[in-house]
Amino acid sequence: MTAISDKYAQLGGASGFLGSADTGEIPAANSGLKQEFQNGTIYWHARTGAFEVHGAIRARWLALGAEASAFGYPTSDETPTPDGVGRFNSFENASVFWHPSTGAFEVHGSIKARWLAMGGTSSILGYPTTNEQTTPDGIGRYNHFQKGSIYWSPTTGAHEVYGAIRARWAELRWERGLLGYPTTTPYEDIRNRNTFLIGEFKGGRVEVNLTTQRVLVEKFATASSPNYSIPVVAYRVSDDDGSRPCAITVDGVQQWVDEANRIYAAAGIRFVYDGVLRDLRDTEVNNVTGEQYPAWQSVQAKLNQLAANHRSIVLVHRAELGGGFSWWTYDFVAMSFFDSVHLNALSILAHELGHHLGLPHTHARTFQTVREAEDFLLSGGNLGDLDGDGSIINDTPPDPDIVEIRENLALDAVTLAGQAVPLARKNIMSYWNHGGMGQLSHGQIDRVRQLVLDRRARYLNVTVITPIDCVALLAQIAAAQARLAVMIAVRDAETDPKIKGRYYTAITQLRSQIRTLTDRARVAGCI
């Protein structure tokens, strides 16, 4: 008897699932042996012993190069996964997992180790849906799973991304975008009674409020790609005689600026409002609604001069209703007053700042009803006709702005002329109700940063934010490590189990903080 024949007998021989033999024992790659059967193969090597492979897992392994590949020989028979739904085979340097809804895919190396440490098929990620792949930049590796991904690079290691963090990272061009590769496992942080899930990346971080699902992307400053701070001043306009003053308040301006900062943090831009409402008495300015206004040239000259005097972004709050307007040829942003009742009130300033910094609308046409939009397409129009920024921004889809469904926050797409058309629901330059979820695309971020540089040279007093202060950051890490050492010593000396348990929780949190700080220091080149 040989090891292969012994294994065959253990599996039921000819009456087992492998069926009858198609070959005798024959040589396999790298000094091994194999025997083919009706429904599978048994492989043997001196390093591993004898194990069977069959079905979809065998097909995947054969497609990957079988025993001659870097994955080597099987080290297990096909085995049920803990959930009883899937199956897997382990090999010397990889494993292949199968699920009825995904098929069979391999995982190996650091990605496999991270996935198994998370719980493998029982983890939040579930089963693999791809083999390990090379990233487009040729540097990293990744596997996609049912509910997320694991990405690896030589400098960052292997880390998972999932949920809203992964979705926003994908929108920002994955590892090729401004965020780069993930550098930490997503972790929770509690602030002001809200719980946030945070994913750290080489170029920034993504923060999700788990209660509201609002997403913040923050770009880290680097020597080659600094961040910018831009001053903002606000004027409250009234008529020449002081009548009809705009109803704006300092608090209203600050709410607008806060929301703009949430959105533009992804571009590494922060607007700083000085908390002052300056008064401007000018009937022409108070009545202006845009370039169609009869005295537009006079108004534009006055407001451009204000901006030049302050070397800031000037918000001019008029009594005239209508939200706001601006364009990248203006040195100011015209606004009305903050009124939370109106559509997208919180996003209005962020939207107008987008115009000021080079961004057109995502839409080119507005329709009152879905039927009107359908009729447009059925009568010879095409989706490209609905793309308002296509000549400037290449990563926002055509946007069918439809008034009757602007408020429907549950809609991500609308069916027009038999095809599902995605909606630019969250894009800050659309007219859709963003529901406080307004954001910028990667292409919009690139253009905004370029316009900041252009305006900086012309009139904006822009503060350049340099990379992380390594000395301060390393001192912060050292202090946290010292606290950790003290905390561990106190815990070890404590005899009360209840109090001892509290220290375990605090120590875990402090270790997570140290890891985050250390990762940030590593990314910044401090260590």
Condensed to tens digits (0 to 9), the pLDDT of residues 233-272 reads 999 999 999 999 999 999 999 999 999 999 999 999 999 9
Q: Is the pLDDT of residue 276 over 70?
A: yes
Task: In whole angstroms, give the CA distance from residue 299 to residue 270.
Answer: 28
Q: What is the dihedral of CA 317, 318, 322, 324, to 10 degrees?
A: -30
Please enumerate in sequence order all residues whose Cβ is within 8 A of that of 264, keeping only pairs 6 or more positions apart, or say none.
270, 271, 350, 353, 440, 448
242 or 337: which leads in pLDDT: 242
- Per-residue confidence at 388, pLDDT binned at 50, 70, 90? very high
Q: Is the pLDDT of residue 470 over 80?
A: no
Is the distance from CB of 201 to CB of 181 less than 8 angstroms? yes
Q: pTM of the prediction? A: 0.84
Going 475 to 477 to 482 to 486, the CA torsion angle's sign is positive
Q: Is the pLDDT of residue 527 over 80?
A: no
Task: In whole angstroms, give the CA distance from residue 410 to residue 468.
Answer: 40
Give whole-number Cα distances, 33 to 29, 50, 64, 170, in Å.
8, 9, 18, 45
Give whole-number Cα distances, 441 to 171, 185, 192, in Å.
7, 24, 29
What is the SS3 string spanning 51-69? EEEEHHHHHHHHHCCHHHC
CA atoms within 13 A on the CB side of 45: 16
64 or 289: which leads in pLDDT: 64
- Per-residue confidence at 36, pLDDT binned at 50, 70, 90? very high
**Residue 371's pLDDT is what?**
95
Pairing of β 401-402 and β 366-367: parallel
Task: In whole angstroms, give the CA distance from residue 254 to residue 234.
Answer: 10
Cβ-in-10-Å burial (0-12, 13-18, 19+) of 499 comes to: exposed
**Residue 516's pLDDT is what?**
80
512 or 261: which leads in pLDDT: 261
CA atoms within 13 A on the CB side of 213: 8
Q: What single string gives the DSSP state of each residue in 319-338? A: SS-S-EE--TT-SEEEE---
Q: Phi/psi class of residue 86: alpha, beta or left (left: φ > 0; alpha: ψ in -120 to 50)?
A: beta
Please enumerate in sequence order all residues whose Cβ is within 8 A of that of 478, keeping only pairs 6 or more positions apart, or say none.
none
**Residue 471's pLDDT is what?**
78
- Per-residue confidence at 354, pLDDT binned at 50, 70, 90? very high
Q: What percent of the chain has pLDDT over 70?
A: 98
**Residue 523's pLDDT is what?**
58
Kindly state the tokens that stand for 324: 């706001």
Pairing of β 313-317 and β 227-238: parallel
Task: In whole angstroms, give the CA distance from residue 395 to residue 164.
Answer: 19
Lowest mean pLDDT among 244-248, 340-344, 401-405: 340-344
Return the closest-CA partner of residue 479 out of 490, 468, 471: 471
CATH of 221-351+432-467, one of 3.40.50.720, 3.30.1490.190, 3.40.390.10, 3.30.470.20: 3.40.390.10
**Residue 322's pLDDT is what?**
65
Tell me which amino acid residue 154 is.
P
Mean pLDDT of the chain: 93
**Residue 525's pLDDT is what?**
64
Helix (H) or strand (E) holding 223: none
Q: Phi/psi class of residue 195: alpha, beta or left (left: φ > 0; alpha: ψ in -120 to 50)?
A: beta
123-140: average pLDDT: 97
**Residue 521's pLDDT is what?**
76
**Residue 524's pLDDT is what?**
62
Express each pLDDT in 63-76 by its tens digit.
Answer: 999 999 999 999 99
Give whole-number Cα distances, 488 to 103, 345, 475, 491, in Å.
46, 50, 20, 5
Task: In whole angstroms, give the CA distance from residue 112 to residue 145.
Answer: 12
